[in-house]
């Protein structure tokens, strides 16, 4: 049985191929049926229909071709959809491709992986505030894993304890991690130093800021698609940086 993510990826690929033409429901669905080699099975065909209509929920498709052909079966790719198609292999609107891209560049702990799956599900259903909270949860799990690895390094090498790294508040842990890594920066592998300098600020200022805006009980402003989308795009780089930091901490090098 095909998964919704597999069906959505096939739909997006077909739409990408047909975008320059006159998009119509029948031509899209026929091509997807052929690509997925679907048997005559109403249950699976309805899964395809559900994922097709979800593309409208996400805002990647809208009905109509022009004002003279403004109703179904005509449809068109929105500006949001065009942006997603430009980076289809890693866009969060394509959860299957996004997860594969993430796995090629990093290894997530189980808790972070579960949060990312939930975040992607929220995103494709248009629940951007919920997606931001889940994405922030995945990122904070990465931070705590890095913290644990560095605390072990500190103990192993007999260095003074760092109170910030033992704090329960993620904000304090973030500050402690940055201070510690900054002290060691001159001796870091160039690749790790470059990743740290490029993406540590992206994590603290982008993903976590959006997560806090979404989860703060006093916040009633909607979290925008643009901010969540940007957070998803930077997350693989943050995950790769976290893996490099954990590897560095485990080597025992001072």
CATH number at residue 64: 1.10.10.10
Q: Which residues pair with 74 in a beta bridge?
A: 24
Q: Distance between CA atoms of 24 and 76, rounded to whole angstroms?
A: 8
One domain for residues 66 and 132: no
pLDDT band, very low/low/confident/very high, at 122 (cuts 50, 70, 90): very high
Q: Containing H/E element for 153? A: helix 128-156
Q: What is the pLDDT of residue 210?
A: 58
Q: What is the CA radius of gyration of the chain?
A: 22
Asked which of 31, 57, 85 is the last residue of a domain, the reply is: 85
Asked which of 85, 113, 144 is the last residue of a domain, the reply is: 85
Asked if the structure places residue 196 within a domain, the reply is: yes
Count of the separate structural domains present in the chain: 2
126: alpha, beta or left, given left = phi > 0 and alpha = psi -120 to 50? left
Taking residues 4-21, report their average pLDDT: 92
* Contact (Cβ atoms closer than 8 angstroms) between residue 213 and residue 230: no
pTM attached to this predicted model: 0.84
One domain for residues 157 and 237: yes
Q: What is the pLDDT of residue 57?
A: 84
One domain for residues 118 and 188: yes
DSSP annotation string for 210-240: HHHHHH-TT--SPPPHHHHHHHHHHHHHHHH
Asked which of 85, 120, 154 is the last residue of a domain, the reply is: 85
Q: What is the pLDDT of residue 105?
A: 83
Asked if the structure places residue 14 within a domain, the reply is: yes
Q: Containing H/E element for 77? A: strand 75-77
One domain for residues 139 and 231: yes
One domain for residues 156 and 223: yes
Asked if the structure places residue 90 within a domain, the reply is: no
Q: Give CA torsion, residues 184, 185, 191, 195, to 10 deg.
A: 110
Q: Which domain holds residue 64?
A: 4-85
Q: What is the pLDDT of residue 211?
A: 57
One domain for residues 79 and 136: no
Q: What is the pLDDT of residue 253?
A: 58
Question: What is the DSSP secondary structure assignment for residue 160, as one 8-state letter?
Answer: P
One domain for residues 219 and 155: yes
Checking if the pLDDT of 254 tops 70, the result is: no
What backbone torsions phi and psi does residue 61 show, to the nearest 5 degrees? -125, 155
Q: Containing H/E element for 128? A: helix 128-156
Question: What is the DSSP secondary structure assignment for residue 185, as one 8-state letter?
Answer: G
One domain for residues 242 and 143: yes
Residue 124: C-alpha distances to residues 27, 56, 57, 76, 117 (Å): 23, 10, 7, 18, 11
Asked if the structure places residue 200 within a domain, the reply is: yes
Q: Distance between CA atoms of 21 and 186, rounded to whole angstroms?
A: 54
Checking if the pLDDT of 64 tops 90, the result is: yes
The label of the residue with tokens 């005559």 reads 40
What backbone torsions phi and psi does residue 62 show, to the nearest 5 degrees? -140, 155
pLDDT band, very low/low/confident/very high, at 139 (cuts 50, 70, 90): confident
One domain for residues 242 and 182: yes
One domain for residues 148 and 225: yes
User: In a 3-state reduction of DSSP, which class is residue 110?
Assistant: helix
The label of the residue with tokens 């430009």 reads 86
What backbone torsions phi and psi does residue 244 show, to the nearest 5 degrees? -65, -40
Q: What is the pLDDT of residue 78?
A: 94
Q: What is the mean pLDDT of the chain?
A: 87
One domain for residues 173 and 201: yes
* Contact (Cβ atoms closer than 8 angstroms) between residue 35 and residue 14: yes
One domain for residues 149 and 73: no
Question: What is the DSSP secondary structure assignment for residue 13, as one 8-state letter?
Answer: H
């Amino acid at each position: 049985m095909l998964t919704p993510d597999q069906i959505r990826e096939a739909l997006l690929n077909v739409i990408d191929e047909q975008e320059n033409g006159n998009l119509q429901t029948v031509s899209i669905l026929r091509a997807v049926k052929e690509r997925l080699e679907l048997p005559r099975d109403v249950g699976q065909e309805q899964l395809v229909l559900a994922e097709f209509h979800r593309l409208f929920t996400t805002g990647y498709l809208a009905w109509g071709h022009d004002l003279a052909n403004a109703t179904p079966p005509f449809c068109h790719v929105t500006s949001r959809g065009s942006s997603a198609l430009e980076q289809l292999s890693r866009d969060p609107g394509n959860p299957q491709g996004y997860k594969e891209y993430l796995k090629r560049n990093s290894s997530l702990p189980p808790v972070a992986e579960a949060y990312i799956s939930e975040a992607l599900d929220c995103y494709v259903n248009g629940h951007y505030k919920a997606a931001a909270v889940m994405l922030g949860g995945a990122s904070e799990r990465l931070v705590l894993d890095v913290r644990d690895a560095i605390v072990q390094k500190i103990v192993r090498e007999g260095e003074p304890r760092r109170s910030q790294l033992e704090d329960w508040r993620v904000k304090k842990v973030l500050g402690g991690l940055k201070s510690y890594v900054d002290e060691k920066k001159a001796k870091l592998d160039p690749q790790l130093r470059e990743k740290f300098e490029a993406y540590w600020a992206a994590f603290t200022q982008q993903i976590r800021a959006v997560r806090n805006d979404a989860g703060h009980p006093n916040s009633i402003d909607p979290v925008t698609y643009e901010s969540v989308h940007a957070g998803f795009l930077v997350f693989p780089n943050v995950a790769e940086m976290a893996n490099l930091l954990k590897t560095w901490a485990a080597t025992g090098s001072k």
